[in-house]
Amino acid sequence: MDTKLAKIDELQSVLSNEVATIRGIQQFMQPFALGTTLKHYIQIKQKGYKLTDVLIWLCTIQTLGLSIYQATRQELSNVILCGEKCVYYRLMENPLINWRGLYRRLLLKYYQIVKIKGEEPEKGTIRCYIIDDTLIQKTGKFIEGVTKVFDHVTHKSVLGLKMLVLGYWDGMNFLGVDFSVHHELGKNNKGGLTKKEQRLQHKKVREKDSCTEQRKKELDESKIDSAIKMLKRADRLGFLVDYVLTDSWFTCIELIKVVRTMLKGTVHFLGMVVMNRHKFEYKGKSYTTGGLVALLERKTSHYSRKFKCRYMDVRVNYQGVELRLFLIKYGTKGNFRAVVTTNVKLKFVEMMDIYKIRWSIEVFFKECKQYLKLGKYQSTNFDGQIASLTVTMITHTVLTLEKRFSSYQTMGELFRETQKSLLEFTLWERLNVVIIELINFLMDLCEIDIDELMERILNNEQYEKQYNVMLMALKAIKQENVLKMAV
């Protein structure tokens, strides 16, 4: 059976047949029972069309990779609800719609459907909230709230916004849970724009306590503060969570303390740390990460054959919170990297296996940009920007549900014993294979850690082509093993 190891994308097989996708999107959305799930929005209409109907067609248009203008101009009778693009634009810019609340209802419906289907997670499954941001690049300087923002991939400032996402990994799939949008005004408070460009930006007067005004205020919030608010909102959803994963940008004491209050103190924090930025207390003395390396490298250094790296782990205290600090070095010339967790009993290999889950959010960003045109909406109205990003997350959630039960479902009692070998790999299993094999073949040569390696791969098409050669070989081996088991 095809294990599809050649691609780590979740949605590619769902979207590979355009005609089937167009025909199937309404069928995919049927389990969500939008009329009931979104009953609080039943009064919202545009030119006689219900919100739920227009929402379905917005998702359909998005799966085609078309803009609203393109879809209506081409007059695709099997795609558009009506010939007037204003039906879609006015709905997306409607200030009465609470897009965050709307998406939350659909997300809860997703897990209600999963529960009804009787899908029980395997014992020991790790579930995580993951926090990260991505660049939403724009071309229009008059889009409300847009500024120059730093792109950490190209290390340049570009026109756009930053989308901060809180995602949830349930052991099989990744789903967006919440998001906020931010700009970067810089030291001069101009965001890299001239006074004329600032003056000509779209401006809209909104009611003080309206949902849209609150989303607009998030533009000026720090991403740490916004992440904390999203975690607190997510904590009320009742999802089972073991860890909150972040990269080094979000690792701070404020976030760590909030994480430890979640689900009555059962959730742990796990994240990267910038070297030599923080001071940790060890045996009554204060050390930077570099100081701990100098103190402990010769005495307590270990070698991991699985990850081909040297590491040290030590229990430290950071501003009153007890942590386990891991110091990791790849190759002989590589620099040390640091990871901390509030689970002081966590072993190195377990920590690495859990931290790799963080890359599911990078795959999510890659999929949404590549297949669902995340952030391509060019309306100058900020309300429309929020609506567009929400529609992308809705579309991803709908397609993920279809993917979950069409590709990962069991094959009946007859094949239950060989289910693991015969079923298509889940995203996490595929990521596991990709990462481990890449480390084994490339880590000594590149002398870089997992974060840096995966970032290069997911943001560079040339790297992707190169590692696909190795993955095809793994795919052939997997198919050979499946055939042997079937015999």
Which residue from 309, 273, 272, 275 is spatially nearest to 289, judged by alpha carbons?
Answer: 275
| No. of helices (H) and no. of strands (E), the chain | 19, 14
- Of 54-63, 127-136, 396-405, 410-419, least confident by mean pLDDT is 410-419
pLDDT digits (tens, 9 = 90+) for 347-378: 999 999 999 999 899 989 988 898 888 999 98
Over residues 390-400, the pLDDT tens digits come to 999 999 998 88
**Taking residues 209-227, what's their average pLDDT?**
93
CB < 8 Å & 24+ apart, contacts of 331-334: 331/443, 331/444, 331/446, 331/447, 332/447, 333/447, 334/447, 334/448, 334/449
Domain boundaries, the chain: 262-357, 413-486
| Identity at 455, one-letter amino acid code | E
- Residue 211 is classified by DSSP as H
When pLDDT is averaged across residues 323-340 and rounded to a whole number, the result is 90
Q: Where are the beta strands (DSSP E) in 207-330?
A: 243-246, 268-273, 279-282, 285-288, 302-304, 309-318, 321-330
Distance CA 279, CA 285 (A): 10
pLDDT in tens, 51-77: 888 888 888 888 777 788 777 776 554
Residue-wise pLDDT for 269-316, tens only, equals 999 999 999 999 999 999 999 999 999 988 889 999 888 899 999 999
**Type and span of the H or E element at 441:** helix 427-446
When pLDDT is averaged across residues 26-32 and rounded to a whole number, the result is 80
- Nearest to residue 309, comparing CAs of 282, 336, 285, 275? 336
- Per-residue confidence band for 29, with pLDDT thresholds at 50, 70 and 90: confident
What integer pLDDT is reported at residue 404 of this predicted model? 80
User: Whole-prediction pTM value?
Assistant: 0.82
Total residues belonging to the chain: 487
Predicted pLDDT at 385: 95
Q: Higher-confidence residue: 13 or 242?
A: 242
Residue 40 neighbours by CB under 8 Å, 6+ apart: 105
Average pLDDT for 325-345: 91
CB 145 within 8 A of CB 383: no
387 within 8 A of 96, measured Cβ to Cβ = no
